[in-house]
Chain A
Amino acid sequence: MTAMLELEAVDTYYGRAHILSRVSFAASAGEVAVLLGRNGAGKSTTLKSIIGLVRVAAGAIRFAGERIDGRAPYEIAKRGLGYVPEDRRIFSDLTVLENLEVGRQPPRPGAPTWTEAKLFELFPNLAERRRQPGGRLSGGEQQMLTIARTLMGNPSCILLDEPSEGLAPVIVDQMAAAIRGLKQAGVTVLLSEQNLHFATAVADRAHIIEKGEIRFSGTIAELGANEAIRAAYLAV
């Protein structure tokens, strides 16, 4: 399989603080990859570096074979890379439908085309609330809205920053089902997670990040078999 998204020795700084150090990994087309790590390990920064919200100081990021590092977020998004932020960042004064409108982009060859109707099928809760302001939704509904909003851009690859964080267990199960649905539709998924259980339920491949460095890359099965790695980097 070819690499849809590839990071090569990426370095990122906040001011003088060195956050990411020579981060390298890749996600193949059509797979669900998970970036696992504790709080502050560098997961969100990695995703923000990919979408261009954080400047990459050194290294290269390729998407569908082309360099995207150094480009503005809107240019990267226009190429079919969707980003779902950790803290949702929905537009609270806009209705659900208007939130979706902001995400709308033209259909893209080679990626599934989403419409409001299809998204309301994937996230039925949103359908009932389509005319309500985003700020009135519950946390779980907001999480669904932020994913639906990004899907309106018809991405071929989507970055999900801790999609299960702060959600009730029943909503977490719905979220896992939705991610598997995305994979079936042919979307490449890269998500960041702290929750190994959730990661195991959805992902094909795992990369473990700790203090801004990648410490392990392998399939979910390999991670499951490696007790030492799990204890060193994921145990709380």
Chain B
Amino acid sequence: MASIVAQFLNGLASASTLFLIAVGLSLIFGVTRIVNFAHGSLYMLGLYAAYSLIDRFGPTPLGFWGGVIGAALLVGALGALVEVAILRRIYRAPELFQLLATFALVLVIRDAVLWHWGPEDLLGPRAPGFAGSVAILGKPFPEYDLLLIAVGPLVLVLLWLLLNRTRWGTLVRAATQDREMVGALGVNERWLFTGVFALGAFLAGLGGALQIPREPAQLFLDLTAISDAFVVVVVGGMGSIPGAFLAALLIGEIKALCIGLGTVTVGGVAISFSKLTLVVEFIVMAIVLIVRPYGLLGKPLAMQRGAGAPVELPARPDGRAMALAGLAVLAALAALPAAGTPYAVVLAIDILVFALFAASLQFIMGPAGMVSFGHAAYFGLGAYGAALLLKRAGLPMEATLALGPLVAALGAALFGAFVVRLSGVYLAMLTLAFAQIVWSIAFQWDAFTGGSNGLVGVWPSGWLSGKTAFYFLTLACVAAGVFLLRRIHFSPYGYALRAGRDSPLRADAIGLDIGRLQWVAFVIAGAFAGVAGALAGYSKGSISPEVMAVSRSVDGLVMVLLGGVQTLSGPLVGAAAFTWLQDTIARNTEYWRAILGATILFIVLAFPQGIVGQLAAWLGSRDRGAPEGMVGWRRRRA
């Protein structure tokens, strides 16, 4: 009994923490519709800043709490700066660009923290006055955790009062629905958005700073925090603050339950619930999204007015000039082993593999309009599928190269059936949930997948063992894959897919089954990602769960966005630019993330349509130019 109560209280404390991490993200999304990838970085920054401030002020009660509040205020001010300097410039860009910009911030902040605080974990002092523990039913329970349990509901109530009982809150809620109209009523809505962003950042910083007595400041906290925050926000319903609270409670308690249960034997089979903690939140998210597509307390997103994203131009079949250019690139690539260094060949294999991976992701993001945060799952299924068939089933390598992608396609068929029922950010989050589930299976099933060590000795057949031979195999597969994806794009099926993306209602009315079209697209994209994954495994000779980690999915997303979502050559250019940059910078400096992030920020601010998209707009003929002066979210009757 006592241990159940203790676990329950542990669950409440972790729920409070989760709520503080997530609530700012939900607030920012609800008002600005920006999915702030850097939210976890702000949380991490709060923890580090609190460490330094308390170190300077001294561990007195005033020093401690002053340090915590000071850290949160600093992070809030940084949030305001980010909004004014970066996000404000790209509200009118396609919404995924905001995601890309905030991802660049993740990279920059990570290296800024590394530069200022160094790579060591930093453990802060205990909170004065809350350093001990109290006995609850005879079991000691940390006083500080009791304090945290109270902070969550307190923040919830204060936020509710701010949003519902002040003029500022009324204006913010109005701007959430129609920011243009708020401006036309004489309110400078830009400062409203800056304020919301600063408040969200402040809450993230506070969440981090309050963790100082509980966990050391560490460099990877940004990604774990953002992943937790996304899950809580999505389970609760994007933009719903009470929803975030409820979701935090649910996940905090379920995690505590899993730890409390430990290993349970049911009918002779031992089930390790504590192992589940790694993935349980994603299982909860997948179940919630399947049952309630908008989260526990979320509403279908009303089209927000006055955001003013430009209308993106449709992709077009290439003319003869582009076809010739494509052939020229292919010829140049074929000549590479003869002309380039061995290292260039190895790098070129990487670039080709990622080009196909990015092209497959572009296929669902562009024509099908589905953004995936978990596309690496299919890359990984292809890689693991091929490797396991080789190592465990003893199939010849050539056969596994064909069957690996089939495994990826089957995975995509299964997950896709649930994914296509959702849309927008919820869809993206469900793809992330499935990817995390697949990742945790690969990570934990030591006996079959090799667990965190992965599989080694995944080498191609003898005739392909030379780098040059493998390079030509890769080039042939990738060229064929890219060519096929382009053909599908401009087939009647591709047109139907784009019709469903641009006007679901009208496509439905002319008899197109959009869900089915999207599902097929998901399976096609999964299969091609699987080809890329299988090639990647054989090129390295080993695979690890890294191949389907979140960071791989995000890399793919960045490649597609860098190139331009609605251009077919965009992902190829994006993959080449990203892989080459990463490789070049990483060999020359410890701070490659910051340089990569700064480069991405520059590209986002200078080329709001992606590299290729912007080139097309500049070079394009008169009828290809981007519509200018579009105000409002769609053309309306004059």
Known: A73-B184, A83-B184, A101-B170. Is A53-B177 also a contact (CB below 8 A)? no
Q: Are A44 and B188 in contact (CB under 8 A)?
A: no
Chain A 52-94 residues near chain B, CB threshold 8 A: 52-55, 57, 72-74, 77-78, 83, 85-87, 89, 91-94
Q: Are B185 and A55 in contact (CB under 8 A)?
A: no
| Of B170, B625, B632, the contact of A98 (CB 8 Å cutoff) | B170
A91–B166 CA distance with the chains assembled, in angstroms: 16
Which of A2-10, A35-43, A137-145, A219-227 interfaces with chain B?
A35-43
A43–B178 CA distance with the chains assembled, in angstroms: 22
Q: Are B629 and A14 in contact (CB under 8 A)?
A: yes
Smallest Cβ distance from A214 to chain B, in angstroms?
14
Smallest Cβ distance from B199 to chain A, in angstroms?
19
A89–B185 CA distance with the chains assembled, in angstroms: 11
Most buried by A among B184, B631, B636: B184
Most buried by A among B182, B630, B638: B638
Number of A-B contacts (CB under 8 A): 97
| Of B184, B627, B629, B632, the contact of A74 (CB 8 Å cutoff) | B184
Smallest Cβ distance from B571 to chain A, in angstroms?
27
Q: Are A74 and B170 in contact (CB under 8 A)?
A: no
Q: Are A101 and B635 in contact (CB under 8 A)?
A: no
Q: Are A102 and B632 in contact (CB under 8 A)?
A: no
Known: A45-B638, A91-B174, A93-B173. Is A102-B182 also a contact (CB below 8 A)? yes
A207 contacts chain B at the CB level, 8 A cutoff: no
Residues of B within 8 A of A51 (CB): 184
Q: Are A101 and B167 in contact (CB under 8 A)?
A: yes
Q: Are A53 and B186 in contact (CB under 8 A)?
A: no
Smallest Cβ distance from B636 to chain A, in angstroms?
7
A150 contacts chain B at the CB level, 8 A cutoff: yes
| Of B177, B186, B629, B637, the contact of A77 (CB 8 Å cutoff) | B186
B457 contacts chain A at the CB level, 8 A cutoff: no
Known: A14-B630, A55-B631. Is A149-B173 also a contact (CB below 8 A)? no
Question: Nearest residue in B to A55 (C-beta to C-beta)?
Answer: B629
Q: Are A89 and B305 in contact (CB under 8 A)?
A: yes
Chain B 40-79 residues near chain A, CB threshold 8 A: none
Residues of A within 8 A of B635 (CB): 14
A104–B180 CA distance with the chains assembled, in angstroms: 16
Chain B 425-482 residues near chain A, CB threshold 8 A: none
A78–B187 CA distance with the chains assembled, in angstroms: 8
| Of B178, B180, B305, B628, the contact of A73 (CB 8 Å cutoff) | B180
B181 contacts chain A at the CB level, 8 A cutoff: yes
Q: Are B185 and A149 in contact (CB under 8 A)?
A: yes
Smallest Cβ distance from B187 to chain A, in angstroms?
6
B189 contacts chain A at the CB level, 8 A cutoff: yes
Residues of A within 8 A of B182 (CB): 102
| Of A48, A91, A153, the contact of B173 (CB 8 Å cutoff) | A91
B171 contacts chain A at the CB level, 8 A cutoff: yes
Q: Are B638 and A74 in contact (CB under 8 A)?
A: no
B424 contacts chain A at the CB level, 8 A cutoff: no
| Of B177, B189, B628, B637, the contact of A92 (CB 8 Å cutoff) | B177
| Of B173, B183, B631, the contact of A94 (CB 8 Å cutoff) | B173
Question: Nearest residue in A to B182 (C-beta to C-beta)?
Answer: A102
| Of B178, B184, B187, the contact of A91 (CB 8 Å cutoff) | B178
Most buried by B among A14, A42, A54: A14
Residues of B within 8 A of A86 (CB): 637
Residues of B within 8 A of A110 (CB): none
Q: Are A94 and B185 in contact (CB under 8 A)?
A: no
Q: Are B189 and A53 in contact (CB under 8 A)?
A: no
Residues of A within 8 A of B174 (CB): 91, 94, 98-99, 102
Smallest Cβ distance from B305 to chain A, in angstroms?
7
Residues of B within 8 A of A169 (CB): none
Q: Are A89 and B629 in contact (CB under 8 A)?
A: no
A114 contacts chain B at the CB level, 8 A cutoff: no
Interface readout for B342-361 with A: 1 if CB under 8 Å, 0 if not? 00000000000000000000
Smallest Cβ distance from A105 to chain B, in angstroms?
5
Residues of A within 8 A of B632 (CB): 53
Residues of B within 8 A of A41 (CB): 638
A197 contacts chain B at the CB level, 8 A cutoff: no
Q: Are B189 and A102 in contact (CB under 8 A)?
A: no
Residues of B within 8 A of A44 (CB): 636-638
Smallest Cβ distance from B613 to chain A, in angstroms?
17
Question: Nearest residue in A to B305 (C-beta to C-beta)?
Answer: A89
Question: Nearest residue in B to A87 (C-beta to C-beta)?
Answer: B636
Question: Nearest residue in A to B311 (C-beta to C-beta)?
Answer: A15
Interface readout for B615-638 with A: 1 if CB under 8 Å, 0 if not? 000000010010111111001111
A13–B171 CA distance with the chains assembled, in angstroms: 31
Question: Nearest residue in A to B310 (C-beta to C-beta)?
Answer: A15
A112 contacts chain B at the CB level, 8 A cutoff: no
Most buried by B among A39, A55, A91: A91
Q: Are B178 and A77 in contact (CB under 8 A)?
A: no
Q: Are B629 and A57 in contact (CB under 8 A)?
A: yes
Known: A55-B629, A102-B185, A103-B185. Is A93-B177 also a contact (CB below 8 A)? yes
A163–B516 CA distance with the chains assembled, in angstroms: 44
Residues of B within 8 A of A212 (CB): 638
Residues of A within 8 A of B637 (CB): 39-40, 44, 86
Q: Are A13 and B629 in contact (CB under 8 A)?
A: yes
A19 contacts chain B at the CB level, 8 A cutoff: yes
Residues of B within 8 A of A53 (CB): 180, 184, 631-632
A13–B189 CA distance with the chains assembled, in angstroms: 25
Residues of B within 8 A of A101 (CB): 167, 170
Smallest Cβ distance from B178 to chain A, in angstroms?
5
Residues of B within 8 A of A153 (CB): 185-186
Residues of B within 8 A of A91 (CB): 173-174, 177-178, 181
Q: Are A105 and B186 in contact (CB under 8 A)?
A: yes
Most buried by B among A15, A83, A212: A15
Known: A94-B173, A101-B170. Is A74-B631 also a contact (CB below 8 A)? no
A14–B637 CA distance with the chains assembled, in angstroms: 11
Known: A14-B627, A53-B631. Is A78-B186 also a contact (CB below 8 A)? yes
A41–B305 CA distance with the chains assembled, in angstroms: 24
Smallest Cβ distance from B352 to chain A, in angstroms?
38
Smallest Cβ distance from B180 to chain A, in angstroms?
6
Residues of A within 8 A of B625 (CB): 16
| Of B167, B188, B631, the contact of A54 (CB 8 Å cutoff) | B631
Smallest Cβ distance from A133 to chain B, in angstroms?
11
Known: A72-B183, A83-B184. Is A54-B629 also a contact (CB below 8 A)? yes
Chain A 202-236 residues near chain B, CB threshold 8 A: 212
Smallest Cβ distance from B65 to chain A, in angstroms?
35
| Of A16, A45, A55, A74, the contact of B189 (CB 8 Å cutoff) | A74
**12 extra interface residue pairs, beta carbon distance < 8 Å, beyond A53-B632, A55-B629:** A14-B629, A54-B631, A72-B183, A77-B184, A85-B184, A89-B178, A91-B174, A91-B181, A94-B170, A94-B174, A98-B174, A102-B174
Q: List 6 A-B contacts (CB under 8 A).
A: A45-B638, A74-B185, A77-B183, A91-B181, A93-B176, A153-B185
Give 4 nearest A-B pairs by CB, closest first.
Answer: A15-B627, A77-B186, A45-B638, A73-B183
